[in-house]
């Protein structure tokens, strides 16, 4: 378990507004102030993986080996359009409606 000392100090400074923009997430000044140090401390903890020698080690994406799975090329039933559109916040004429993207 980390000590309080370790929890306080952080070497990592994240550009939170930039990352939030990449993630398409509007963020408040208050959140920037809170997240910065919190994420910094998490990254300090994460840093310990650099202690390990990983040369020659293959990465694991899935723990249980998965092989390509190909299904038969057959047309199967899809969910009805009306049911899908019913969940949309705004739809018209069988389409999802979004703000204008072209002038």
Taking CA atoms, 3 is separated from 6, 9, 43, in Å, by 5, 11, 16
In angstroms, the CA 32 to CA 20 distance is: 9
Long-range CB pairs of 46-50, under 8 A, 24+ apart, other chains included: 47/11
Report if residue 84 touches other proteins, rule: CB under 8 A. Answer: yes
Our measurement of the distance from residue 19's CA atom to the centroid of its chain's CA atoms, rounded to an integer in Å, reads 11
Q: Which of 29, 48, 77, 93 binds other proteins (CB under 8 A)?
A: 48
1: contact with other proteins by CB under 8 A? yes
Taking the complex as a whole, the smallest distance from the CB of residue 42 to other proteins amounts, in Å, to 5
Binding-site size for other proteins (CB under 8 A) equals 54
SS3 9: coil
Q: Can you give the binding site for other proteins, defined by CB under 8 A?
A: 1-2, 7, 14, 16, 19-20, 22-28, 31, 34-35, 38-39, 41-43, 45-50, 52, 54, 57-64, 66, 69, 71, 79, 83-84, 86-90, 96, 98-101
């Amino acid at each position: 378990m980390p000590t309080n000392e370790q929890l306080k100090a952080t070497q990592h400074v994240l550009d939170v507004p930039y990352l939030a923009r990449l993630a398409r997430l509007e963020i408040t000044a208050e959140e920037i102030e809170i997240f910065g140090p919190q994420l910094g401390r998490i990254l300090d903890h994460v840093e310990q993986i650099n202690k390990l020698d990983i040369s020659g080690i293959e990465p694991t994406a899935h723990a249980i080996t998965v092989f390509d799975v190909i299904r038969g090329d057959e047309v199967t039933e899809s969910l009805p359009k009306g049911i899908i559109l019913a969940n949309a916040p705004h739809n018209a004429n069988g389409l999802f409606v979004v703000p204008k993207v072209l002038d």
